[in-house]
């Protein structure tokens, strides 16, 4: 099986006012920690899609296992980043069978969550496996190659959730309660740091 992970990190993070994916976390950054969780899974490709903070992000990357592509049209919305990233991934790995899309501001995303996506796919044979939190299906999400064309049909600031809504019969889900925690504002980050300190998360 050939598969890849796409990390979306192209936005301006306007509510935060700086590169939120580069905020400190553990011994690295939010993005660095995510990468550390993904590399041991040994996907055929890890594609990082950058945009507004491209230069800062590139400077922070310590691994040669990450393929970085800059979406110069990131202001067109998330759909443009997905499409730029997918094109680059298929150029590198044209036989890719599954794509996992992750975002760079879910700090508690772990390798175990991605493994759960694939386990659920094997159990159900569904073409899409999403993560459920707060009563919604969201990222990280696994899609089979049957849906790559539909990713290219997305427009504006819309992600894979549109496809989940279009094909509910082919969607399975895993529980990822910590997925509700994302970092959009300084207050979010402060609450997150406090939560981590209180729980002594390793």
Residue-averaged pLDDT of the chain? 91
Model pLDDT for residues 155-198, shown as the tens digit of each residue? 888 888 899 999 999 999 999 988 888 788 888 888 888 877 77
pLDDT of residue 9: 94
Looking at the predicted structure, is the pLDDT value of residue 135 above 90? Answer: no
Model pLDDT for residues 46-58, shown as the tens digit of each residue? 999 999 999 999 9
List, in sequence order, every residue forming a beta bridge with 49; answer none if it has no partner: 8, 69
For helices 111-124 and 30-38, angle between their N-to-C axes, nearest 10 degrees: 50
Question: Residue 187 is encoded by which pair of tokens?
Answer: 């207050």
CATH of the domain at 123: 3.90.550.10
pTM, two decimals, is 0.93
Domain span at 29: 3-199
CA distances from 184 to 75, 121, 147, 200 (A): 17, 30, 29, 23
Q: Is 2 helix (H, G, I), strand (E, B) or coil?
A: coil
What is the pLDDT averaged over residues 54-69? 93
CB half-sphere exposure, 139, CA atoms < 13 A: 23
Cα separation, 103 vs 34, in Å, equals 9
Token look-up 């999400």 returns 141
Q: Is there a contact between 101 and 143 (Cβ–Cβ < 8 Å)?
A: yes
Q: Per the structure, how many domains does the chain have?
A: 1
Cα separation, 140 vs 143, in Å, equals 10
User: Would you mind telling me the total number of residues written for the chain in this entry?
Assistant: 202
Token look-up 């919305």 returns 77
Cα separation, 202 vs 199, in Å, equals 9
């Amino acid at each position: 099986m050939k598969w890849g992970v796409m990390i979306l990190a192209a936005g301006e993070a306007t509510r935060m006012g700086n590169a939120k994916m580069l905020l400190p976390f553990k011994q690295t950054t939010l993005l660095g920690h995510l990468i550390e969780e993904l590399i041991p899974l040994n996907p055929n490709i890890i594609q990082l899609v950058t945009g507004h903070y491209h230069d800062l992000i590139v400077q922070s990357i310590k691994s040669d296992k990450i393929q970085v592509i800059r979406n110069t049209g990131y202001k067109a919305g998330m759909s443009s980043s997905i499409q730029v990233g997918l094109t680059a991934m298929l150029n590198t790995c044209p036989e890719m069978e599954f794509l996992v899309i992750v975002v760079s501001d879910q700090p508690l995303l772990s390798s175990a969550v991605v493994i759960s996506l694939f386990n659920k796919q094997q159990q159900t044979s569904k073409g899409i496996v999403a993560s459920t939190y707060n009563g919604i299906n969201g990222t990280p999400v696994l899609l089979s190659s049957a849906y790559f064309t539909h990713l290219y049909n997305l427009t504006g600031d819309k992600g894979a959730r549109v496809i989940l809504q279009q094909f509910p019969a082919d969607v399975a889900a895993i529980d990822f309660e910590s997925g509700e925690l994302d970092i959009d504002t300084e207050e979010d980050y402060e609450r997150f740091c406090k939560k981590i300190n209180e729980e002594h998360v390793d």
